[in-house]
Amino acid sequence: MIARKEYNIGLFSCRFFDRFWRVVRSSLSMKTIHKIFFQDARDLKEIASESVDLIVTSPPYPMIAMWDDMFGSQNLEIQNALARGDGRQAYELMHNLLNPVWDELFRILKDGRFACINIGDATRKVKNDFCLYPNHAKILNYLIDIGFSALPDILWRKQTNAPNKFMGSGMLPAGAYVTLEHEYILIVRKGSKREFKTESEKKNRRESALFWEERNIWYSDVWTDIKGAKQSLSNAMSRWRSAAFPFDLAYRLINMYSVKGDVILDPFLGTGTTITAAMTSRRNSIGVEIDKSFQQTICPIARHIVDFSNDYLHDRLKRHFEFVKNRIQSSLPLKYTNRHYGCPVVTSQEQFISLDGLKAVQGRGDNIFEVIYSAKPLFLKYMVE
């Protein structure tokens, strides 16, 4: 989160960090490196400028009551504002704590790369004043002011409320309020459009492509197929799959806005969802989390991620084959063939898609994980049979 509390965990020096990522880039392409920093996300001096390819994160939501203590512990004026019923002042002060994080993200992001920020607005009654606190607008305006270019955002409709839920006076006019059942995924870019110039870059981009039917759903501006859930799950991998910031959401964004081998950053790591999605996607990752107690949730990654990721990728391929079956039954065209799986695809851009199965995860000390991938595309034998 954003508390100014330090932990002695042996953080990399800038020089060592630069060398670390050069090793990652020059190592075998079938390995990725994942590093976790337990520290304040407002000061990321350990991460070199313009060294990150994609940011996927969900910060604490200002004016949501569960975050009051966290924000208030950083600035007592927030507690005072809430106590005297000044919600607007508390709202401003909470965002003033998040703004330095956005400054750091702009610094470390490469030109042409994206940041995807999941944020919800807040509805709240402070004293006698009930109103909406538009967190998404506040953050987006700040991002634009510091140099990001805004792109069309995504409405994530969580459907956590029953259809008959309402706020206010129910059936009586002029006193009821619509339910707040969606969150925003802000999409911003630093600089101009990313270019893929060398043949190896273009090849990697082709292998990182999406299936046609995935693209049609994933690039819609309204998502209704990803559900949020409570985080009180006992099983670690179930938590990653179904948390309030779900695995599916992080995995989708990573595959939409990066390619294999890229470096993904989450400055509000929490339970480690973004890192697990990066591992599954064969991306490198960095996670930053101020609360070291989350280490107990993140550490089981090494014990569970291989089976979890391979099952998840298997399901992704299985969904494609179901799509192919239905399309053939509907007499719709499938003009091309994927060269790795021998399966029909709709477009020429899908011919080289390759999903990489995980073989092992090794701890490298100091909160570093190395993931090793299979040299052959996942489930090739299964697809041929």
Q: Where are the domains of the chain?
A: 14-384
| pLDDT, mean over the chain | 86
Percent of the chain's residues with pLDDT above 90: 72
The neighbour count for residue 355, using CB atoms within 10 Å, is 24
Tokens of 262: 């890229």
pLDDT tens digits for range 162-171: 555 556 666 7
pLDDT tens digits for range 284-339: 999 999 888 887 777 777 788 999 999 999 999 999 999 999 999 999 999 999 99
Collect all residues with Cβ–Cβ distance below 8 Å to 143 and sequence separation of at least 6.
Answer: 102, 106, 115, 117, 150, 186, 188
pTM of the model: 0.87
Directed axis angle between helix 76-83 and helix 87-108, to 10°? Answer: 150
**Res 203: pLDDT:** 97
Directed axis angle between helix 273-280 and helix 301-329, to 10°? Answer: 60
**Is residue 126 classed as helix, strand or coil in its secondary structure?**
strand
For the chain, give me the number of helices (H) and strands (E)?
A: 13, 16
pLDDT tens digits for range 3-43: 333 323 233 334 434 444 444 444 445 899 999 999 999 99
**Res 172: pLDDT:** 78
Residue identified by tokens 């569970």 is 304
Q: 112 versus 24: which is more confidently predicted?
A: 112
| Res 194 pLDDT > 80 | yes
Torsion angle defined by CA atoms of residues 328, 256, 246 and 293, in that order, rounded to the nearest 10 degrees: 150
What would the DSSP string read from start to end of 11-34? PPPHHHHHHHHHHHHHS-TTEEEE
The neighbour count for residue 380, using CB atoms within 10 Å, is 15
| Record: fold of 14-384 | Rossmann fold (3.40.50)
Least confident of 140-144, 262-266, 348-352, 379-383: 379-383
Within its chain, how far is the Cα of 55 from the centroid? Answer: 7
